[in-house]
Amino acid sequence: MEGGFETGFLLGHMNYWLFVILMMTGFYIVVARGNLLKKIVGLNIFQAAVFMLYISVGKISGATAPIITGNPDEVYSNPLPHVLILTAIVVGIATTALGLALIVRINESYGTIEEDEIQQHDLEQYDKDCARAEEAR
């Protein structure tokens, strides 16, 4: 089909479209939200999108799970992306846990988990530093 709108192109790359949408959703949340907790949620969506990209790549049509069945004609899905993503998921869990732990600590010492309020506190602290420095002069 020349020049026209190709449904095959759209549907054939379905996993990539979904990946892009999901990834950008997550990325947008990380960038646009001021709440630290929501940022972590966005980060998780962002990472999940990547996991799905990898896993969808390992799929082979008509193939079964990669467990030896004894049938020499059996076609297996590619297990390697799954293994890689297993590692990446573990890394993701560690990141999430650490991020949440930091949020708990931030909440304890700042009393808020809104980014702009934290920045406000930090700026006040900076002004205090300036005043202290002025005293030293």
Instruction: Catalog residues that contact other proteins under the rule CB under 8 A.
Output: 23, 27, 30, 36, 39, 43, 46-47, 50, 53-54, 57, 65, 67, 80-81, 84, 86-88, 90-91, 94-95, 97-107, 109-110, 118, 122, 125-126, 129-130, 132-134, 136-137
Is residue 40 classed exposed, middle or buried when 0-12, 13-18 and 19+ CB atoms within 10 A define those classes? Answer: buried
Closer to other proteins by Cβ: residue 14 or 102: 102
Give the separation between CA 86 and CA 63, rounded to whole angstroms.
20
Residue 30 C-beta: closest distance to other proteins, Å: 6
Contact partners, residue 47, CB within 8 Å, separation at least 6? 26, 88, 92, 95
Closer to other proteins by Cβ: residue 10 or 105: 105
Residue 74 C-beta: closest distance to other proteins, Å: 15
